[in-house]
Amino acid sequence: MSIKINKYDNLNGHDLCEIILENKHGVRISLLNYGATLEKFEIPTKHGHENILMSLKKPEDYSKERNFIGATVGRVAGRIKDARWENGNQTVHFIANNHQHTLHSGGKLGLDNQVWDFELKNRNDKVEVSFYFLDPDLANHFPGNVKIKVTYSLDNDNALKYEIEAVSDQLTLFNPTNHTYFRLDGPDSSIEDLNLELDADYYLPVDDQTLPAEAGMAKVKGTVFDFRKSRRIGDALKSDEHQVKVRNGFDHPFILNGNKIAATLTSNKNKRKLEISTNAQALVVFTANGFPKTDVLSHLHAHDGIALEAQAAPTNDPKLQMASLVPGEKFHRIVKWKISY
């Protein structure tokens, strides 16, 4: 097992580093301290290492514009309806940046596009990077100083564990996620030929602004959202279902049933399987439904990757209680990605 640092730039006095974890099987993880980002997940093949993520072309591209690819997103991932949080007699207003709503915490700066500090550990059974960030009181109008630690650890069972720990000195909202897109068949492949299995009997239908619809969660049974048995993603993407059609794919929260494996991606082309487990309530499934044509994204097309974002489900309830973090509470979210090949 090894850890290597590759400094690739210095941005306004901050070192930008790629950190590379490798286990005894040659599984190789590349991480960026920019955004505590999972940049690449490479597995050994006959023809050398192959990256099974949808990634930008080079580390430098991640700070050129804001795309959230592979990043730690927060304080609150996804949408906060009407940019508003109501707690008892208090109302907090955030920055509306997606219609009248707040997307990915609003504002120009989030956990995803700032530089984190980091610390390395090479232990007998795993190699590990911890990233540290202090999000100050009133950042994007969120109350409280929040100290955040994100740890990526790779073991010799080919599992990459992602942990977010946080404490706040005031009541605040905290519901971050990791926004990695998987692309199991490697570069230039599409997710259409992958199979997805999801341990979810219910999903959240969304309205035209991708907020949970008023009627709340719905059964997947008998709908295109039914991935309880492994199904080809390409087939699902062709659905006539309005929600899928208008957005050219999925961008939906699924409520997890709680079994050990929350989701499985399998390749029909290669003998590859990715198993996802988490202690989060839900997975938001996003099928990368299209990209603006910017320089750094020029090589990417719709359905090049699939994001399975572990978090508390978004809600219409302005109380947002499941996203709350109280002083004295230890936030601890875990996601584990285990690859077989």
Catalytic residue among 101, 179, 252, 303: 179
DSSP code, position 170: S
Q: Decide if residue 321 touches a second copy (CB under 8 A).
A: yes
Contact residue for a second copy among 26, 319, 332, 340 (CB under 8 A): 319
Nearer to a second copy by C-beta: 3 or 302? 3
Q: Decide if residue 240 touches a second copy (CB under 8 A).
A: no
Q: Is 180 annotated as a binding residue?
A: yes
Three-state DSSP at 189 gives coil
Q: Decide if residue 108 touches a second copy (CB under 8 A).
A: no
Q: In the structure encoding, which two tokens stand for residue 159, read together?
A: 């599992």
Q: Is 62 annotated as a binding residue?
A: no
Q: Decide if residue 127 touches a second copy (CB under 8 A).
A: yes
Measured from the CB of residue 44, what is the shortest distance to a second copy in angstroms?
Answer: 22
Contact residue for a second copy among 47, 48, 108, 215 (CB under 8 A): 215
- For 34-173, strand residue ranges (E) read 37-45, 48-51, 72-73, 79-80, 84-87, 90-93, 102-103, 117-122, 126-135, 146-155, 159-168, 172-173
Nearer to a second copy by C-beta: 15 or 157? 15
Q: In the structure encoding, which two tokens stand for residue 82, read together?
A: 């009407």
Contact residue for a second copy among 34, 41, 118, 181 (CB under 8 A): 118
User: Read out DSSP for 15-44?
Assistant: EEEEEEEE-TT--EEEEETBTTEEEEEEEE
Torsion angle (degrees, nearest 10) of CA 186, 156, 309, 85: -150
Q: Decide if residue 117 touches a second copy (CB under 8 A).
A: yes
Contact residue for a second copy among 20, 69, 184, 256 (CB under 8 A): 256
Measured from the CB of residue 157, what is the shortest distance to a second copy in angstroms?
Answer: 17
CA–CA gap between residue 225 and residue 333 (Å, rounded) = 25
Closest CA to 106 of 94, 118, 114: 94
Nearer to a second copy by C-beta: 132 or 291? 132
Closest CA to 219 of 184, 263, 257: 257
Determine the Cα angle at 227 with ends 262 and 178, to 5°: 40
Q: Reply yes or no on whether 18 is catalytic.
A: no
Contact window for a second copy (CB under 8 A) among 151-159, 179-187, 231-239, 253-261? 253-261
Determine the Cα angle at 198 with ends 68 and 178, to 5°: 20
Q: Decide if residue 60 touches a second copy (CB under 8 A).
A: no
Amino acid, single-letter form, for residue 307: A
CA–CA gap between residue 308 and residue 250 (Å, rounded) = 11
Catalytic residue among 39, 50, 128, 309: 309
CA–CA gap between residue 76 and residue 104 (Å, rounded) = 6
Q: Reply yes or no on whether 214 is catalytic.
A: no
Measured from the CB of residue 333, what is the shortest distance to a second copy in angstroms?
Answer: 11
Tell me which residues in 295-314 interact with a second copy (CB under 8 A): 312
HSE, side-chain direction, 13 A CA sphere, residue 316: 13
Residues 144-183, one symbol each (x = binds a second copy by CB under 8 A, - = not), give -xxx-------------------xxxxx------------
Amino acid, single-letter form, for residue 153: S
Q: In the structure encoding, which two tokens stand for residue 181, read together?
A: 């897109």
Q: Is 278 annotated as a binding residue?
A: no
- Annotated binding residues for beta-D-galactose, written as ranges, equal 179-181, 251
User: What residue ranges bind a second copy (CB under 8 A)?
Assistant: 3-5, 7, 10, 13-15, 17, 87-90, 117-123, 127-129, 132-134, 136-139, 145-147, 167-171, 201-202, 214-219, 255-260, 279-281, 312, 315-317, 319, 321-322, 324-330
Positions annotated as catalytic residues are: 179, 309
